[in-house]
Amino acid sequence: MLSKTLITAAAHASTIQPSTSIISLTSPFTRNSLRTLQSAIITHAATSKTTVIPGEANAAVLVPLCNVGDVPGVLLELRGGNLRAHAGEVSFPGGRVDPEDASFLAAALRETQEEIGLRNEQIDILGQFGPPEQSLMGLRVWPYVGFVYPHDNHRVDTGSPDDPLPSISLSSLTISQAEVATVFHLPLSAFTSPARIRLDMFRATSPYWAIDVSDLVEGFEGVSSPLGQPEVGGGKEGRIEVWGLTGWYMSLLMRIIRVYT
């Protein structure tokens, strides 16, 4: 648990102001809102460049934004409970960059198709943000943001740029049973919900907001954080949470769109 001193310091360092968001947290994504988000990601990336270190192992993940039932949010995985690494944790699709991958982005897209069946042509890449952090497994993790279209949508730019983009169906996803227990949609509004959020410290130094998603993955169990192993397992006190590196990256994205300050 965080001490009162850390909680007070974190509260001052990380505040929530949804009214200042550059995109709507409740209205569906549109072409205009994606372009606004893309511009913010590009601007942020220009100030947070990290050099690739020769010989360092790298991984890449995709933050898959989408509309589900005209509700904007992000697709997240609950990893299988029997995996050797990060079992029972909420994560983005992604994984280690292989020598055969043409780029870090190519690795993220390959892993996304392998894990949840999304094809490259379904994903509109908006950019890469960071800085990329090192995972507890020693991999430098590069996060990319993309918007997901239904597999049968041809992305024809017709109508108003403010028209809602098409929603996807979770039942259309092809989940790798060996790696992924389930996939769920987390609405953007959840990131400001007092009933869901709690302050945590990333690597014991930086405040961020962890998100309780236990009710969204009902029927599945995460793996509790082992004693002395912060950021490992499904969450704190038996909850299933978006926390650790995944929670840190989502909090960073919320800062980019000015929901968190």
pLDDT tens by residue, 124-153 = 999 999 999 999 889 999 999 999 999 887
CA distance 132 to 248: 11
Domain encompassing residue 188: 4-256
Residue at 214 is within a domain: yes
Neighbours of 149 (CB within 10 A): 21
Residue tagged 């952090």 (tokens): 133
Please list the ranges in the chain whose pLDDT falls under 70. Answer: 1-14, 81-87, 154-156, 219, 221-233
Q: What per-residue confidence (pLDDT) applies to 14?
A: 66
Q: What per-residue confidence (pLDDT) applies to 225?
A: 55
Residue at 40 is within a domain: yes
Peptide bond into 131 cis (omega under 30): yes
CB 182 within 8 A of CB 199: no
Instruction: Tell me the CATH number at 32.
Output: 3.90.79.10
Residue at 200 is within a domain: yes
Residue at 108 is within a domain: yes
CA distance 66 to 73: 6
Q: What per-residue confidence (pLDDT) applies to 9?
A: 47
Q: What per-residue confidence (pLDDT) applies to 12?
A: 45
The pTM assigned to this predicted structure is 0.90
CA distance 209 to 240: 14
Number of domains into which the chain is organized: 1
| Six-digit token string for 68 | 């589900």
Residue at 261 is within a domain: no
Residue at 84 is within a domain: yes
Reduced to 3 states (helix: H, G, I; strand: E, B; else coil), residue 261 is coil
